[in-house]
Structure 1
Amino acid sequence: MKLKVTWLIVISVIAFIALSVIQGYLIYNTYTLKRNAFIQNTRSEILNIDYNKHLDSIVDTWEETLKNQIADYKNKRTTKQIVLNKLRQKADSLNSNYYNLYKEELAHKDLGYAVSYKKNIESIVIFDKENDTIFPLAEQTNFKLFGNDFQNSKANSVSVSRTFSQYDYIDQTENKINTQHYNLEIKFKDLMYIKDKNSIVFKQMLGLLIGSLFLFVVMLGLFYYSLKSLMAQKKISAVKTDFINNITHELKTPLATLGIATKSLKNQQILSKPETLQNSLAIIDRQNERIQKLIDQVMTNSLKAQHLKLALKNVEIIPFLNHIVEDFKLSVEAKPLQIAIAFNHQEKELKIDPFYFSTAIFNLLDNAVKYSKEKAKIKITTDYNNNCFFLVIKDEGIGIPKKEQQHLFEKFYRVSSSNLQANQGLGLGLYYTQQIILAHQGTIKVKSEKSKGSTFTIKIPKIQ
């Protein structure tokens, strides 16, 4: 059974993790699709702007400068680097007008978010008798023509275009004036940068994210509740089995004794002897009383604090405790007993229910003796502080393991230690004691260390 439950928990955890991973994967895929759709939509809007005739005319003006600079270059009046420098200067002078037009057109789109844009030149190549690359040069690989300046690594591509044109120029390199022609290829790459791209996509997915988070929390809560319920059922099953075994053991002894005593009454020899007959009847009476007390313990000690009807009285606490100690000493026969008391006489009276309060103390003293070593040594002290009465019962018994202490006051709970197997019980004593103290609006705490004894501290507020 234990192995089945363990495997069930392991499989449930694996299934929950798998579902969480799948949900995360689906959310990531949804984010990727929405981001790509968002970028594609922005790209379409930018492309419409890029085909504006006013912007094209500015590009044509720049290309006219390029044509003139290449004519000088072909006539060896300038170098590639100078050509590029003059092309940059011309682009810079035109950029203000270009970008203002771009922003006006972008404003008409009413996108609701800012988009930076630039047009780069990828290459400028002259096709003549032999190919001649004007750009890029080995030492220069970036040429922003128009638009904003931002890092290419953070940008998204809008479009890549190529123009292929044929131009004429006057060749004056050999003291002759000839008209020559060449083919010019220019590759453009348009880029855009959306600063808050991720935030915008996440806002668009806000409903989905909140819904997914809600479902995840619900699923996590149901998973936790299911596991908790499973563990609780397992614990209840174990407690039930333990309780049945314990109460069966407790009932077997008096029932067996009753059986023997009842059979003896059928013996004519015993019936003819009044002394032996009275002894058998006394045994039956004692065992009957023992069974009745066991049943009463199960019935009464299962009550909760709110079900206990206290008959509160002002009791002189020190004499009351002295009487309890004396009565307890008389009831102990199994082991030698030594009780040391250190009572603080500052507190004269305490409002308590004498019956229930004495029952709680008897339970603690009984446990101290039951789980002590060869000789039971108990120390009882009292104190009064901050309008509260404190009763401390300390023993030198076998102690309680740390991991068991948090469950000590649970109903039917018994410490699972081999040292305690000789001491059978129903696991109700400490539970009932705690309920009595709670009914008095008090608290009970335990400090213990294995093989070094236990200390129970009862705190009762002074009820005015």
Structure 2
Amino acid sequence: MKRKIILLITGCILTVVALTCIQGYFICNTYELKKKEVKDVIRKQLLAFEDDPEFIAIEDACMEKSRDFVKAHKGNKNSKQDYFDYIKKNRDSLSVALSSIMDKKVNFKHKIGYSIYITAIFDNEGTKKDTVYLGKQLVLSNNIKSRDEFSLATGIWKTKISPSSKEDRDTYDIEIQSGRNYSFESLQKVILQEMIGLLVFSVLLITFVIILFYLSIRNLITQKKIADIKTDFINNITHEFNTPLAAMDIAVKTFELESITEEQHKNTIAIIKRQNQRLQSIFSQVAGASLSSQEIVIDNNIISSKEIEEIITDFRLSYPNITISHSIQTAVQIPMNQFHLNTILINLLDNAIKYGASEIKVTCNQTETFATLLIEDNGRGIPENEQKNIFEKFYRIEKNNLHNAKGLGLGLFYVKQIVESYKGTITVKSVENKGTSLLISIPLQ
């Protein structure tokens, strides 16, 4: 069973991991499709915008200035740095004009950045091609910046420059290559906003699957625990009943003897009486386990300190080798049925002895609102992880998967039921190999 639970847990973990990977794959694909869809829409809008006459006029102005630069450059009047300075000087005014036209002509759903770069300028003289400029110089933008830019298109602008004087050379061609890029101010944010429904659904789905697996595994572990408790209970109760029944069987055979003496007769009667009381005690524990605290009949008789001492004294007679001391406040009065208090004390004292106690101390005090009963022992103690379970029905402390002490696992459960029926509380403090203390508090009213 334990192996099956481990395999189930492993299977559930692998299933959740696989489901998460599949969901992640679909989300990534959806993200890329959304990204492509948005980019295609923007590309179409920008390409349509580039056919607008006002935009063409601005672009031509930039290209003509570049042509003038080439002409001056050919005459050694301007350097490349002069061209760069000119571009930077006029970039802001041209960008404002571009932004104004884009706001009027195109209704973008997203904030889009648009830029034009000069990438190369060539001087073609016949078959000879002279490189005037090669690089990436921004000449125009709408001042919306983004970390990532996407290529919209590339263009080639060509014109002829005729000789202006006799000293000039023949006519030559100018070729200006440009690149147009676009960008999103927050592309990832925009796409994720459009996918928010899918993301929320995916997270909820995976969370639901994890919760479902958790509940299934928890229920399986609980069922295993219940099955183990039932099996253990059957084994224990069989053993508990077997001992007194075997003793009574011997007693019956003794009575069948013809030559039975009076002393043997008395001893046999005593044996039958003790074993009968033991059977009744076991039966009472089993029957009491089926009662809830609400079904226990409350009888608020007043138990005095003397009656508590008598219970402890009678119990001490059965265990002469165990040191059982008591400190009971003289004026203490516990509002409880004597049978119930007797059951509580006998169970707790017997439990301490079962788990290795050689010294037990019972302390009973009373305050204005509570009567308290403290049982301390020097036994094996209770492991910290077991302490929260010791009051459960049929629960018994296990060590190395073996029960070293006899019992049905009902004593502490029944004690707690009685205490709670009187609206009291019971708490445990224990350190392994040092001992245990149990404190019971019963309200006086």
Give the TM-score of the pair, scaled to structure 2: 0.89
**Residue 77 in 1 paired to residue 102 in 2?**
no
In the TM superposition, 1:102-121 aligns within 5 A as 102-106=102-106, 108-109=107-108, 111=109, 113-121=110-118
**Over aligned residues, Cα RMSD in angstroms?**
2.8
**Residue 162 in 1 paired to residue 155 in 2?**
yes
Distance 2:278 2:369 in 1: 41
Distance 1:65 1:253 in 2: 114
Distance 1:294 1:359 in 2: 12
Contact 1:118 1:149 in 2 (8 A): no
Match of 1:148 in 2: 143
Match of 2:309 in 1: 322
Q: CA deviation at 1:279?
A: 5.0
Match of 1:306 in 2: 294
Contact 2:160 2:173 in 1 (8 A): yes
Amino acid aligned to 1:309: V
Match of 1:205 in 2: 195
Instruction: Select the residue among 121, 124, 148 that pairs with 2:121.
Output: 124
Q: Which moved more, 1:447-456 or 1:317-326?
A: 317-326
Match of 1:227 in 2: 217
Amino acid aligned to 1:194: E
Q: CA deviation at 1:218?
A: 1.6
Distance 1:161 1:251 in 2: 97
Instruction: Select the residue among 279, 289, 302 that pairs with 1:291.
Output: 279
- Residue-by-residue CA offset, 1:231-256 (whole Å, 9 max, x unaligned): 11111121122111111111222222
Match of 2:207 in 1: 217
- Residue-by-residue CA offset, 1:316-374 (whole Å, 9 max, x unaligned): 553443233233224x23x42323333345x754433433233122211111222235x
**Residue 9 in 1 paired to residue 32 in 2?**
no
Contact 2:145 2:183 in 1 (8 A): no
Distance 1:97 1:66 in 2: 19
**Residue 189 in 1 paired to residue 180 in 2?**
yes
- SS in structure 2 of the partner of residue 417 of structure 1: coil
Contact 2:114 2:180 in 1 (8 A): no
Instruction: Select the residue among 353, 378, 381 that pairs with 2:363.
Output: 381
- SS in structure 2 of the partner of residue 231 of structure 1: helix
Contact 2:303 2:337 in 1 (8 A): no
Amino acid aligned to 1:364: L
Match of 2:66 in 1: 66
Distance 1:306 1:329 in 2: 32
Contact 1:95 1:146 in 2 (8 A): yes
Q: Which moved more, 1:184-193 or 1:86-95?
A: 86-95
Q: Which moved more, 1:257-266 or 1:197-206?
A: 257-266
Contact 1:393 1:456 in 2 (8 A): yes
Match of 2:393 in 1: 411
For the structure 1 residues 165 and 252, does the alpha-carbon distance in structure 2 shift closer, same or farther, using more than 3 Å as the test?
A: same
Contact 2:363 2:375 in 1 (8 A): yes
Amino acid aligned to 1:382: C
Contact 1:408 1:415 in 2 (8 A): yes
Match of 2:97 in 1: 97
**Residue 446 in 1 paired to residue 428 in 2?**
yes
Contact 1:407 1:413 in 2 (8 A): yes
Q: CA deviation at 1:307?
A: 2.9
| Structure 1 alignment gaps of length 5 or more | none
Match of 1:238 in 2: 228
Q: Which moved more, 1:225-234 or 1:454-463?
A: 454-463
Distance 2:376 2:184 in 1: 75
For the structure 1 residues 18 and 344, does the alpha-carbon distance in structure 2 shift closer, same or farther, using more than 3 Å as the test?
A: farther
| Structure 2 alignment gaps of length 5 or more | none
Structure 1 ranges of 4+ moved more than 6 A: none
Q: CA deviation at 1:399?
A: 1.7
For the structure 1 residues 337 and 284, does the alpha-carbon distance in structure 2 shift closer, same or farther, using more than 3 Å as the test?
A: closer
- SS in structure 2 of the partner of residue 160 of structure 1: strand
Distance 2:365 2:48 in 1: 88
For the structure 1 residues 5 and 279, does the alpha-carbon distance in structure 2 shift closer, same or farther, using more than 3 Å as the test?
A: same
Match of 1:367 in 2: 351
Q: CA deviation at 1:456?
A: 0.9
Match of 1:54 in 2: 54
For the structure 1 residues 75 and 232, does the alpha-carbon distance in structure 2 shift closer, same or farther, using more than 3 Å as the test?
A: same
**Residue 358 in 1 paired to residue 342 in 2?**
yes
Contact 1:413 1:427 in 2 (8 A): yes
Distance 2:19 2:86 in 1: 61
Instruction: Select the residue among 250, 254, 260 that pairs with 2:244.
Output: 254
For the structure 1 residues 146 and 387, does the alpha-carbon distance in structure 2 shift closer, same or farther, using more than 3 Å as the test?
A: same
Q: CA deviation at 1:59?
A: 0.8
Contact 1:447 1:455 in 2 (8 A): yes
Q: CA deviation at 1:268?
A: 4.5
Tell me how many residue pairs correspond in the alignment: 444
Distance 2:251 2:421 in 1: 42
Distance 1:392 1:3 in 2: 43
Q: CA deviation at 1:276?
A: 4.7
Q: CA deviation at 1:454?
A: 0.8
- SS in structure 2 of the partner of residue 424 of structure 1: coil
Identical amino acids, percent of aligned pairs: 31
Distance 2:303 2:272 in 1: 40
Contact 1:382 1:391 in 2 (8 A): yes
Give the TM-score of the pair, scaled to structure 1: 0.85
Q: Which moved more, 1:63-72 or 1:336-345?
A: 336-345
Match of 1:133 in 2: 131
In the TM superposition, 1:381-400 aligns within 5 A as 381-384=363-366, 387-400=369-382
- SS in structure 2 of the partner of residue 304 of structure 1: coil
